[in-house]
């Protein structure tokens, strides 16, 4: 019998205390006892990453990315070492490994670095010695030797990258929900469990706010065809498999509804409307690795236009400084910035072939008296920017409008 390698990733809530860590250690040990090889990836305990970021914020409102990464990476280091200690106490050989010990090499875009290479020689050797490697997720090392991190939620990506590089049989993501739902079950109690979902749809959901999986992890899983499953670390048999589109038998028009909170907008008012202006405004942001999402340029009046775009709130301060400079250069009347907005999206591969989906979404929002500030669509999704205070209500309204509610009998299983 060939021994298969399983990568198990445990998120913050699954390792929130030493009792939790003990339970995780038992799960890891039992996977091994059943005859598998197992490598583990962990997040920081509970809300430790937030707590570390708050400490930095007490000192500075603009810490450098390098030092912020050095700080938050400690969360995963603590947890990896504690889990290895627990496994040892249960009589298993285990060894914690930091990103720089693997090493997991990344680019140097601190706080949202991308993986360049996962070197596997060391971990393969550890596995061959029958030792359980416990990898600190989320962190890597740049080519110049600085500690980097992969963006919030990035431990999922560490796990999938490891599974891909080691050609593991499967990558199991253990979290505080028993799989992927048609909306965040914590804000939409009528959300339904999804048994199986395509990489493509999961990628859209994750990229639009379904933080149950880090979107880069889904991208990597699809690219390297890693079998990926989301399970609860608190027990139960339900789970969600993320697979190729052809393997998903049931297809609904809309697979899920998401809420993205990390959204801010910047508007430039009365911009002289001439060729090259959009490039002038957006290229400093691209140079600073700030991801611009929705863009709206109003119709020109008397040679002037208004230009609005959204960016992650985490980049707002940096973007404001850059755009303030551009505003002066291009002679815009003023710059406005707001972070009291959210993005609600309906996602599904049926959108491209079903006219009327957008109007159904807009109608459900207007029925709740919610004003839509910005709209964007693609073949897989429709997104609306609305006022933050209506975010959760909007998710529930759109979820219901597409017949996704649990008690809605006219829709088949997702
Ligand atoms: P972990 O710390 O284990 O990585 P996360 O908090 O990152 O856990 O992700 C799990 C959370 O994702 C759930 O508690 C849930 O609130 C949220 N979530 C958002 N959208 C969805 C969805 N569509 N299905 C399931 N969970 C979702
Ligand atoms: N601890 C990191 C975070 O809170 C990474 C992760 O949990 O995946 O974002
Ligand atoms: Mg997570």
280-332 pLDDT per residue, tens: 999 999 999 999 999 998 888 889 999 999 999 999 999 999 999 999 999 99
Q: Which atom of ligand 1 is nearest to the CA of 194?
A: 24
pLDDT mean over 14-37: 97
Pocket residue to mutate for ligand 2, from 99, 153, 314, most atoms within 8 A of Cβ: 153
pLDDT mean over 204-213: 96
Whether 5-176 and 257-413 share one fold: the answer is no
Considering only CA atoms, which residue is closest to atom 1 of ligand 1?
11
pLDDT mean over 204-220: 97
* pLDDT more than 90, % of the chain: 87
CA of 113 to the centre of ligand 3 (A): 16
pLDDT at 1: 47
**CA separation, residue 310 to residues 152, 204, 211, 282, 342 (Å):** 19, 17, 19, 11, 10
Neighbours of ion ligand 3 (CB under 5 A): 11, 153
Q: Are 191 and 183 in contact (CB under 8 A)?
A: yes
Q: CA 31, CA 34: separation in Å to the nearest integer?
A: 5
pLDDT mean over 401-413: 71
pLDDT at 411: 46
pLDDT at 412: 42
Q: CA 395, CA 414: separation in Å to the nearest integer?
A: 18
Please tell me the number of the ligand nearest to residue 204's CA.
Answer: 1
CB of 414 shorter than 6 A to ligand 2: no
pLDDT at 64: 94
Task: pLDDT band for 408, please (50, 70, 90 cuts).
Answer: low
Taking the CA atoms of residue 334, residue 337, residue 341 and residue 343 in that order, the dihedral angle to the nearest 10 degrees is 80
CA of 16 to the centre of ligand 2 (A): 12
Which residue do the tokens 């995780």 mark?
Answer: 24
pLDDT value at 410 more than 50: no
Give the class (CATH, top level) of 5-176.
alpha beta
CA of 204 to the centre of ligand 1 (A): 15
CB of 390 shorter than 6 A to ligand 2: no
Identify the architecture of domain 257-413 in CATH: 2-Layer Sandwich (3.30)
Considering only CA atoms, which residue is closest to atom 8 of ligand 2?
153
CB of 99 shorter than 6 A to ligand 2: no
pLDDT value at 342 more than 70: yes
Read out DSSP for 331-359?
T-SEEEEEEEEEEEEEE-TTGGG-TTHHH
pLDDT mean over 353-381: 93
pLDDT at 334: 93
pLDDT value at 26 more than 50: yes
Three-class secondary structure of residue 102 per DSSP: coil
pLDDT at 339: 95
pLDDT value at 203 more than 50: yes
Pocket residue to mutate for ligand 1, from 181, 212, 229, most atoms within 8 A of Cβ: 212
Q: For residue 250, how far is the Cα from the chain centroid?
A: 25
Q: Where are the domains of the chain?
A: 5-176, 257-413
Considering only CA atoms, which residue is closest to atom 12 of ligand 1?
212
Question: Encoding tokens for residue 106?
Answer: 């990344």
pLDDT mean over 398-406: 95
Q: Are 57 and 47 in contact (CB under 8 A)?
A: no
Please report how many Cα atoms fall inside a 13 Å half-sphere around the Cα of residue 186, on the Cβ side. 8
Q: Are 227 and 171 in contact (CB under 8 A)?
A: yes
Average pLDDT score, the chain = 94
pLDDT tens per residue across span 101-148: 999 999 999 999 999 999 999 999 999 999 999 999 999 999 999 999
pLDDT mean over 215-230: 98
pLDDT tens per residue across span 145-169: 999 999 999 999 999 999 999 999 9
Q: Which atom of ligand 1 is nearest to the CA of 187?
A: 16
pTM for the model stands at: 0.94
Please tell me whether the peptide bond between 103 and the residue prior to it is cis, using omega within 30 degrees of 0.
yes
């Amino acid at each position: 019998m060939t021994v298969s390698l399983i990568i198990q990733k445990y998120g913050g809530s699954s390792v929130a205390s030493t009792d939790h860590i003990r339970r995780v250690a038992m799960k890891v040990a039992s996977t091994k006892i059943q005859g598998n090889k197992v490598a583990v990836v962990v997040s920081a305990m509970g809300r430790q990453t937030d707590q570390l970021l708050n400490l930095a914020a007490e000192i500075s409102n603009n810490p450098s990315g390098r030092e912020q990464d050095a700080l938050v990476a400690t969360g995963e280091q603590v947890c990896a070492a504690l889990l290895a200690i627990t496994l040892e106490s249960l009589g298993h050989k285990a060894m914690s490994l930091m990103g720089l010990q693997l090493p997991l090499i990344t680019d140097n875009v601190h706080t949202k670095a991308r993986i360049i290479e996962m070197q596997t020689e060391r971990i393969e050797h550890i596995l061959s010695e029958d030792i359980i490697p416990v990898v600190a997720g989320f962190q890597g090392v740049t080519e110049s030797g600085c500690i980097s991190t992969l963006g919030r939620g990035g431990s999922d990506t560490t796990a999938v990258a490891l599974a891909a590089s080691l050609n593991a049989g499967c990558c199991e993501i253990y979290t505080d929900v028993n799989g992927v739902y048609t909306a965040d079950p914590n804000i939409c109690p009528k959300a339904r469990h999804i048994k199986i979902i395509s990489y493509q749809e999961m990628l859209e959901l994750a990229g639009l706010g379904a933080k149950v999986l880090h979107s880069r992890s889904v991208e990597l899983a699809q690219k390297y065809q890693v079998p990926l499953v989301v399970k609860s670390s608190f027990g139960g048999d339900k789970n969600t498999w993320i697979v190729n589109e052809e393997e998903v038998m049931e297809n609904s028009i809309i697979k899920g509804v998401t809420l993205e909170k990390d959204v801010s907008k910047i508007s430039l008012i009365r911009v002289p409307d001439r060729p090259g202006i959009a490039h002038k405004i957006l290229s400093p942001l691209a140079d600073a690795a700030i991801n611009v999402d929705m863009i709206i340029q109003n119709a020109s009046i008397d040679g002037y236009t208004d230009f609005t775009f959204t960016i992650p709130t985490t980049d707002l301060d940096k973007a404001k400084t850059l755009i303030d400079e551009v505003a002066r250069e291009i002679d815009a009347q003023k710059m406005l910035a707001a972070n009291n907005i959210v993005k609600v999206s309906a996602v599904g591969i049926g959108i491209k072939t079903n006219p009327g989906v957008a109007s159904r979404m807009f109608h459900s929002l207007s029925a709740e008296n919610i004003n839509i500030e910005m709209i964007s669509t693609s073949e897989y999704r429709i997104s609306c920017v609305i006022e933050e205070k209506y975010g959760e209500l909007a998710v529930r309204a759109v979820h219901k409008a597409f017949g996704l509610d649990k008690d809605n009998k006219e829709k088949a299983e997702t």
